Structure 1
């Protein structure tokens, strides 16, 4: 039955469709995981970014390369606009359908823009590989992190996996759903584009035979801006999930990392587990904590699931309120 036919406004249909789509998308994620790469929109974003990156980033360092900076910024904005418009159009088309059909279609479109099951599976796979041998653990970890894993010992491999789980809880789950709640499908897509661009372009020096200091600066800053609130929300949800964490101490620990955002969920995870997490030569979080053990990886995964299950209804309600307020 069409809701408008019984006196309810179209805006309520859209709000309910979006909220139900979010719930369905999370259920779909747990049921089947990621779609095939050939049908994955984030993979397509990555392919476009790789093609342009090879034409923007120079092969050797250049000082004060503002031409490269502005060229990369222009390309980023153009690609971001394309992503936003495509997903806005897809959302508009879906919302022309019956609200239940719209919810189902929006769920299918939203699912590839976040990754809860894959994130947890990958981190648990590192622990399983580490239980077999250190080289296997390092090899599996290399799929998750960009740092050099060749010299890491078993404890450092585990710490890196838990850090990655915490950081990507924000990047791969909380932030996309946060922006979906505020801006719908195009908001989630724009965030995933920005985060993918940062992962591929946002390096301060040489990577992959190219110099990214200027080509990746805009992408890195854009991701910082879009991740600022979600990163702190992620840390707050982790703190609430475990209770008793000092928010003042959490803020102090979070500032120890070079990133303005990733330190928040990582520090919250370290404090929640009572373990020490470190990147050699860069930072140490919760220095007085104990060494992370094999069970801590599983505990971290359970914390992540608690955060997601708390976030989903909050995001659904927020989405309904945003749609109704903006339509008023």
Structure 2
């Protein structure tokens, strides 16, 4: 990259981030086995088979392969960051970063569930089962919608805030490491026969999402304050964030549930929110909240990158 300075890289990254979100809005998440995340998923699927490793070394093997996978996935992102001239880096970087983000697809998946429920409950259950791991066969229409919008709320962190956060800190390689790590957790981080091989993946995902989840919660509280729902959203955060297993996912879910005034329900596990309205009535407000927070965080990171880059160039650091 010419000129090859950290300051100029910050400025270029400030342009890449909003352009990447624009690309995502225009093309969504193309379904192809050659999609970078699909390719890394195939690799994870190969080494993540517990039967491939003796039980006694599965945790060590999982940690070692976590590192190998992260390096392999990140290498092209690193090379583009440091070898491409600026006029190639901006478009190439935007497309590469887009592969680490999934904004439009979150909305499309939730909308697909609503559309399927408009046909019949069975279609809605079947469509929701593509988004979540729970058994959807016996869910009511409201519980089916809950599964879909819970996925959107939780993935505000996994698919939007965290990739942007690590891009802001470490550029394209940071976003790539996060996306590889999150994919490993999504495929291996379960309390079943994959427990040992996926132990490192699950722990690393918790660590990487710790700060972004709390940023998302804070931004959502600001958003609901503008809607006159701060007190409800904040009370929901305090009372409901620990109902969902894990240390991160319950934060955006609890704020959104009480901020919008609906219930998020996983039968037998948790109920979050105030239940003032149904998801059929209020689903679009969840989509709007996710949109506003996404754009706001993008603008915030871009402004910080511009200030840092300009400061470094001006001072000659």
Above 0.5 in TM-score?
A: yes
Aligned to 2:153: 166
Query: Is 1:34 paired with 2:29?
Result: yes
CA distance in structure 1 between the aligned counterparts of 2:92 and 2:69, rounded to whole angstroms: 24
Query: Is 1:224 paired with 2:206?
Result: yes
Runs of 5+ in structure 2 lacking a partner? Answer: none
Aligned to 2:175: 188
Runs of 5+ in structure 1 lacking a partner? Answer: 206-210
CA contact (8 A) 2:260 2:286 kept: yes
Q: How is 1:253-292 mapped onto 2 (pairs within 5 angstroms)? A: 253-286=240-273, 288-292=274-278
CA drift at 1:325: 5.9
Aligned to 2:286: 300
CA contact (8 A) 1:124 1:297 kept: no
| Residue correspondences, number | 309
Aligned to 1:245: 230
Query: Is 1:214 paired with 2:196?
Result: yes
> SS of the residue aligned with 1:294?
helix
CA distance in structure 2 between the aligned counterparts of 1:322 and 1:45, rounded to whole angstroms: 33
> SS of the residue aligned with 1:278?
strand
CA contact (8 A) 2:146 2:279 kept: no
Deviations 1:45-84 (A, max 9, x none): 1111001112xx139xx9xx44111111111112112223
CA distance in structure 2 between the aligned counterparts of 1:301 and 1:156, rounded to whole angstroms: 17
Q: How is 1:138-149 mapped onto 2 (pairs within 5 angstroms)? A: 138-149=125-136
TM-score by length of 2: 0.90
CA distance in structure 2 between the aligned counterparts of 1:215 and 1:291, rounded to whole angstroms: 42
Moved more, 177-186 or 83-92: 83-92
CA drift at 1:3: 9.3
CA contact (8 A) 1:159 1:292 kept: no
Aligned to 1:116: 103
Query: Is 1:105 paired with 2:92?
Result: yes
CA distance in structure 2 between the aligned counterparts of 1:148 and 1:318, rounded to whole angstroms: 43
Aligned to 2:11: 16
CA drift at 1:104: 1.6
Instruction: Evaluate the alpha carbon distance shift between residue 143 and residue 103 of structure 1 in structure 2; reply closer, same or farther with a 3 A threshold.
Output: same
Deviations 1:18-59 (A, max 9, x none): 1101111111111121245244211111111001112xx139
Instruction: Evaluate the alpha carbon distance shift between residue 151 and residue 325 of structure 1 in structure 2; reply closer, same or farther with a 3 A threshold.
Output: farther
